[in-house]
């Protein structure tokens, strides 16, 4: 297991297959390879991705791998499933990812929703890094969105998992951007290696293991003690508030 390679899926979510988004992704991909990753780089606009139809809102367990929609999205979801790490590079379209990428994100739900079928998210424990490129603004909005979404699916986010370039020049001339992008590539591989072999993260029985109802009760008791003490301290204030709030 230790010798097994880390598989990295690098996604260019820009329609421009030669633009700044792609350039920074390419830098990240090279750095990932040098770190020992086995990188597959895809041009997202080569794939036809239909929008998610929200099956799970009708039947929770209907959303499962493989997705019911039969299009190129399926192949992409399988690529995500097989990977140990993702590097997602998006153009900044109105302060967010391109709609095309959002459609893929929505569709990946079928991996995460395996929680309800298999007991755990099939995205759990993968590493993810992010690159955002645009002419003006919104890089952090776009990346914050992607980061919290993937973390909510179970991805681990390495330190410094973000790189960006804002402007209309050649991003390859901007040292900070290429250095950050290279580090995104290297760090997702380093972290993916560190966690490779760990098959379980979220422990659904953790509350039971901590003592279940007894555990919760002990916390409730402790909180109650603090509450009494605090209320006493805040007594003057509370009385004042109550008087005024009549």
User: Least distance in Å: CB of 159 to a copy of itself?
Assistant: 4
In the chain, how long is the greatest CA-to-CA distance? Answer: 70
235 makes contact with a copy of itself (CB under 8 A): no
Name which of residues 179 to 218 contact a copy of itself (CB under 8 A).
179, 182-183, 186-187, 190-191, 194-195, 201-204, 206-207, 209-210, 215-216
Q: What are phi and psi of 88, to 5 degrees?
A: -105, 120
| Cα 124 from Cα 112, distance rounded (Å) | 8
Length of the chain: 246
User: Least distance in Å: CB of 3 to a copy of itself?
Assistant: 19
CB under 8 Å to 73, separation ≥6 — which residues?
Answer: 47, 48, 49, 50, 67, 103, 104, 107
User: Least distance in Å: CB of 84 to a copy of itself?
Assistant: 13
Q: Of the ranges 2-10, 75-83, 177-185, which one interacts with a copy of itself (CB under 8 A)? A: 177-185
Q: What are phi and psi of 38, to 5 degrees?
A: -105, 105
10 makes contact with a copy of itself (CB under 8 A): no
Residue of 4, 5, 68, 75 that binds a copy of itself (CB under 8 A):
68
84 makes contact with a copy of itself (CB under 8 A): no
Residue of 6, 10, 11, 27 that binds a copy of itself (CB under 8 A):
27
113 makes contact with a copy of itself (CB under 8 A): no
Structure tokens at 61: 């367990």
The mark string for 139-158 relative to a copy of itself (x by CB under 8 A, - otherwise) is xxx-xxx-xxx-xx-xxxxx
Q: Which is nearer to a copy of itself, 9 or 105 (CB)?
A: 105
CB under 8 Å to 89, separation ≥6 — which residues?
Answer: 10, 11, 12, 13, 14, 21, 22, 24, 25, 28, 130, 131, 132, 133
User: Least distance in Å: CB of 57 to a copy of itself?
Assistant: 6
């Amino acid at each position: 297991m230790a010798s097994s390679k880390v598989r990295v899926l690098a996604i260019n979510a820009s329609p421009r297959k030669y633009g700044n988004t792609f350039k920074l992704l390419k830098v990240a991909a090279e750095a990932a390879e040098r770190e020992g990753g086995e990188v597959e780089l895809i041009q997202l606009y080569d794939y036809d991705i239909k929008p998610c139809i929200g099956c799970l809102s009708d039947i929770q367990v209907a959303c499962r791998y493989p997705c019911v929609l039969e299009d190129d999205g399926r192949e992409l979801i399988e690529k995500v499933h097989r990977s140990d790490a993702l590097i997602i590079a998006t153009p900044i379209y109105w302060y967010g990812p391109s709609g095309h990428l959002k459609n893929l994100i929505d569709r990946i739900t079928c991996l995460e929703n395996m929680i309800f079928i298999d007991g755990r998210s099939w995205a759990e424990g993968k590493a993810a890094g992010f690159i955002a490129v645009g002419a003006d603004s919104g890089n952090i909005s776009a990346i914050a969105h992607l980061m919290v979404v993937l973390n909510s699916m179970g991805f681990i986010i390495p330190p410094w998992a973000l790189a960006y370039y804002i402007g209309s020049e050649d991003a390859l001339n901007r040292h900070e951007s290429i250095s950050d992008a290279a580090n995104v590539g290297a760090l997702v591989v380093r972290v993916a290696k560190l966690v490779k072999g760990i098959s379980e993260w979220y422990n659904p029985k953790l509350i039971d293991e901590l003592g279940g109802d007894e555990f919760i009760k002990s916390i409730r008791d402790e909180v109650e003690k603090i509450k009494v003490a605090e209320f006493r301290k805040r007594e003057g204030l509370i009385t004042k508030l109550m008087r005024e709030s009549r």
